[in-house]
């Protein structure tokens, strides 16, 4: 049976996440990469901006001013938080009927008052904010399937929300203390003093202690309120996030394994491990979030997670969301297709 191929546009294509999206779209059996835009690198070949794409894709980055969104069916936006949300507002107002997956935080939060508090800008398009569906596929698949406007989750938010949601679905009064470390690629392609790798190598540095931007995003994913204390840190590696949640308030005898197994029974990109915490190296450079847990007799629970910040924390999650919105299997273009050949 022939596969319907959707034309794809990627906005702001010079960064690390865009590089991963370009690679994934190029290999996707139901997508054809039509346009990649960039303000700073317009006119340059994508393989020059992203040398790992040499031999993978032959396309020049376009000036956003020259891009007509109505030439594509699916649009991924990799713009920064704040400055580019008016671009999406304009595209939506132009009558664009395709799927938009926005990878910034511009449309993630339910509470519009959280934008100035956590991101430093007043959101001027609350009517569009209401139309975007939060794209944590494992928790919101049905809503994504009926939406054409999807807000892709943040990387820390993905791991922490997936780790907390099965418990918060059934239990109230929980308290979670989180420490999570992210690799250098999470800081973007532009070097800064605090992210420059010679300063990062052999070092761990906490930042935004108890006030990370993903905090309201995590809390809005949970069925019951959780008291959340989150300490993020920069780790001395390139790809991946590893974190551990110490959770109080779980009644003794709670079958933690059953809660996680029931929550993720039909989720292809969550891998569970009983009685052990996951290792970062097994999840980095993959589309999976690995989750494991350990319990003490007094009810204290440790839940660990590991994921790739550029993939499950961004680009592969965006492909997952687009697949669901397009009515495809969410693993299309992300996992190998195995074809059984009959032996004669």
Is 155 an annotated catalytic residue?
A: yes
Under 8 Å between Cβ of 263 and 166: yes
Can you tell me the distance from the alpha carbon of 7 to that of 99, in angstroms, rounded to the nearest whole number? 11
Residue pair 322/101 in contact (Cβ under 8 Å)? The answer is yes
Listed in order, strand segments (DSSP E) in the chain are 6-11, 31-36, 74-77, 99-102, 133-134, 149-151, 174-182, 205-206, 226-234, 241-248, 270-274, 289-295, 301-307
- Sort residue 333 into left (φ over 0), alpha (ψ -120 to 50) or beta: left
Decide: helix, strand or coil at residue 300: coil
Q: Which of 78, 155, 221, 289 is catalytic?
A: 155
Q: 193 to each of 17, 196, 198, 309, how far by Cα in Å? A: 21, 5, 10, 21
- 3-state helix, strand and coil shares in percent for the chain, rounded to the nearest 5: 30, 20, 50
List, in sequence order, the alpha helices (H) in 151-306. Answer: 155-170, 197-200, 215-219, 256-263, 280-283
User: What residues act catalytically?
Assistant: 155
């Amino acid at each position: 049976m022939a596969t319907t191929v959707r034309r794809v546009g990627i906005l702001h294509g010079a960064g690390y996440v865009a590089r991963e999206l370009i690679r994934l779209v190029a290999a996707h059996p139901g997508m054809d990469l039509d346009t990649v835009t960039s303000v700073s690198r317009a006119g340059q070949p994508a393989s020059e901006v992203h040398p790992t794409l040499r031999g993978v894709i032959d396309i020049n980055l376009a000036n956003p001013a020259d891009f007509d969104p109505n030439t594509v069916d699916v649009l991924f936006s990799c713009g920064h938080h704040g400055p580019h949300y008016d671009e999406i507002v304009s595209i939506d107002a132009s009558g664009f009927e395709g799927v938009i997956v926005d990878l910034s935080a511009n449309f993630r939060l339910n509470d519009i008052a959280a934008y100035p508090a956590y991101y430093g800008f007043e959101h001027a398009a609350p009517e569009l904010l209401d139309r975007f569906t939060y794209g944590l596929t494992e928790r919101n698949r049905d809503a994504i399937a009926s939406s054409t406007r999807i807000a892709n989750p943040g990387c820390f938010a993905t791991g922490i929300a997936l780790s907390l949601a099965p418990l918060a679905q059934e239990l109230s009064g929980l308290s979670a203390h989180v420490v999570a470390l992210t690799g250098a690629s999470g800081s973007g392609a532009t070097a800064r003093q605090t992210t420059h790798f010679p300063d990062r190598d052999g070092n761990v540095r906490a930042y935004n202690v108890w006030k990370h931007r993903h905090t309201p995003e995590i809390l809005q994913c949970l069925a019951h309120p959780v008291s959340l204390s989150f300490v993020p840190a920069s780790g001395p590696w390139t790809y991946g996030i590893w974190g551990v949640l110490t959770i109080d308030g779980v009644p003794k005898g709670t079958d933690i394994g059953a809660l996680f197994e029931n929550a993720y029974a039909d989720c292809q990109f969550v891998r569970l491990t009983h009685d052990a915490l996951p290792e970062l190296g097994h999840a980095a450079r993959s589309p999976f979030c690995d989750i494991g847990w350990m319990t003490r007799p007094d009810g204290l629970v440790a839940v660990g997670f590991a994921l790739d910040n550029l993939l499950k924390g961004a680009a592969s999650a965006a492909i997952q969301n687009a697949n669901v919105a397009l009515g495809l299997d969410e693993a299309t273009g992300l996992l190998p297709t195995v074809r059984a050949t009959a032996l004669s």
